[in-house]
Amino acid sequence: MYIYCIYKERTAQTDSNLVSSLLQQLLQRRDSIPDSIYASYRKHTKRGTRPTLDEWTDLLETEIQTYWKRIYIVIDALDECDEETRVSLLKKVRGLPKSNLLVTSRPNYAIRMEFRDSPSVEIRAIEDDLIKYIEGRIAHKEPRLKFHITGDPALLDEIERVVVTEAQGM
């Protein structure tokens, strides 16, 4: 299961929506929907409400405990979530039974402190790798861009310079 945090979608990426997304991903692997999910759906449809974060978490925990031996959760770009959502989400996800968690993030002191007792690996983009990727992408997957570069070879240098600069090691 995965969550990909996007800065531009901070208002939609609430802790409740992210936990419900994890539940949805598990349910999509099943042949049928459990009665507890139907009961929650009927209750909230009747009231015109949505489940709370605790309700989503309880449903997710029940699903995991009942039907899964182990789950793996990947949260990519955790630094893109606002702090309140991040703290609440991690509290809920870390409490899930039978789960392993992998988190990616740009350097962020608060996140580093949250995971200070966990193994970590720093990954940085190397300029030569970025240039090879750009050149390969243009040569094999971007025919229109390749056409423009053929007409103006300096354009490739400009693209590489801008991408490498903007990547800032990412």
Span 140-153, average pLDDT: 91
**Is the pLDDT reported for residue 53 higher than 90?**
yes
Distance of CA 19 to CAs 86, 139, 143, Å? 12, 41, 41
- What digits encode the pLDDT tens for the residues 112-121? 999 999 999 9
Q: What is the DSSP letter of 170?
A: -
Question: Tell me, what amino acid is at 109?
Answer: Y
> Is the Cβ–Cβ distance between 23 and 57 less than 8 Å?
no
CB of 3 closer than 8 Å to CB of 76: yes
Give the pTM. 0.79
The greatest distance separating any two alpha carbons of the chain, rounded to the nearest whole angstrom, comes to 63
Q: What is the distance between the alpha carbons of residues 55 and 58, in angstroms, rounded to a whole number?
A: 5
Domain range annotation of the chain = 2-114, 127-167
Alpha-helical (H) ranges within 28-142 are 35-47, 53-67, 83-94, 109-114, 127-141
Per-residue b or e along 25-62, where b marks 16 or more CB atoms closer than 10 Å to that residue's CB = ebbeeeeeeeeebeebeeeeeeeeeebebebbbebbbe
Res 168 pLDDT > 80: no
User: pLDDT tier at 153 (50, 70, 90 boundaries)?
Assistant: confident
